[in-house]
């Protein structure tokens, strides 16, 4: 995806997530599938990952420095989901939108010439554009799951 497409993805995704504020409490707390997370937990788990990208990925992408090791996904996912289980839907939505807005602002600041630059994460080398495309696909995967139950 191009930088413009990634920016558009985030804008559309944030607009869609805002509409989740209209869900009833039972819809917000409904599992996306049998023995799966609730809508709340799905949205909640995105917050710590956005924070990770903001603080532990973007600052390192253009420096050539070694990227910090990613945290254990199960731990991060559970922390985000746990917070969403314990707080009001509007709080989770505000936290998500605030963090995602910050992420979008950082992406907008990346100069176009870096977009095709290769980055190395562990043993994987990929273009910066591919990294952000993969994150957008992750969003779309979860949006599809939520839309399927609503």
Domain ranges of the chain: 3-149
Q: Whole-prediction pTM value?
A: 0.94
Average pLDDT estimate for 5-22: 98
**63 contact partners, CB below 8 Å, separation of at least 6:** none
Taking alpha carbons only, the member of 142, 42, 25, 135 closest to residue 83 is: 42
pLDDT attached to residue 124 = 87
More reliable by pLDDT, 65 or 145: 145
Contact 120, 128 (CB under 8 A): no
Element holding 96 (H helix, E strand): helix 89-109
Superfamily of segment(s) 3-149: dinb family like domain (1.20.120.450)
More reliable by pLDDT, 122 or 16: 16
- How much of the chain exceeds pLDDT 70, in percent? 100
Dist. CA 118–CA 23, nearest whole Å: 41
pLDDT bin (cut points 50, 70, 90) of residue 11 is very high
69 sits in the region (left: phi over 0; alpha: psi -120 to 50; else beta) called: beta
Tokens 């945290």 correspond to 71
Element holding 124 (H helix, E strand): strand 124-127
Please state, rounded to an integer, the average pLDDT across all residues of the chain: 95
Average pLDDT estimate for 27-36: 92
Average pLDDT estimate for 43-47: 98
């Amino acid at each position: 995806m191009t930088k413009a497409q990634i920016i558009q993805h985030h804008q559309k995704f944030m607009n869609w997530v805002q509409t989740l504020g209209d869900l009833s409490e039972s819809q917000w707390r409904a599992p996306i599938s049998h023995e799966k997370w609730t809508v709340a937990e799905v949205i909640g788990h995105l917050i710590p990952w956005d924070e990770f990208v903001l603080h532990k990925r973007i600052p390192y992408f253009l420096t050539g420095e070694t990227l910090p090791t990613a945290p254990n996904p199960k731990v991060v996912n559970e922390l985000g989901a746990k917070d969403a289980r314990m707080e009001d839907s509007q709080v989770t939505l505000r936290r998500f939108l605030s963090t995602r807005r910050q992420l979008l602002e950082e992406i907008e600041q990346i100069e176009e010439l870096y977009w095709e630059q290769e980055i190395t994460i562990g043993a994987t080398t990929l273009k910066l554009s591919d990294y952000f495309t993969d994150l957008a696909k992750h969003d779309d995967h979860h949006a599809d799951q939520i839309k399927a139950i609503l």
